[in-house]
Structure 1
């Protein structure tokens, strides 16, 4: 039981050392991630549509 308590004390001590982003940074990083996900979703949807049309042209 003592080992578990020591583990959680160490975790708490290490978490105090973490450099957390500010609210503004967090919002900016989140917006960048969401924009990137949307961009790649649209990009791959267009590529998939193009490949599908190409395959239909070839096999029909």
Structure 2
């Protein structure tokens, strides 16, 4: 018996996957990665924004809850 050959479709899929991964690596090299200080700054900004939005949502929710309890017996 001779050596088994991969079907052409499977081989083409493998080539396409390899080409895709090469493209991904090429694009990752172009990414500007933040340094430690920038990362901490960006994280702090996001944390602060989440806290502010959470407080605003709590205020609106409390106000709506109070209004509904006053309107509905």
Identify the TM-score tier after normalising by the shorter chain.
0.7 to 0.9
Q: CA deviation at 1:52?
A: 1.0
Alignment gaps of 5+ in structure 1:
none
Partner of residue 17, structure 1: 30
Q: TM-score, normalised by structure 2?
A: 0.73
> RMSD of the TM alignment (CA)?
1.1
Partner of residue 56, structure 1: 69
Alignment gaps of 5+ in structure 2:
1-13
Partner of residue 36, structure 1: 49
Q: TM-score, normalised by structure 1?
A: 0.85
Moved over 4 A (4+): none
- Structure 2 CA distance for aligned equivalents of residues 48 and 14 of structure 1: 44
- In proportion to residue count, which structure has more helix? 1
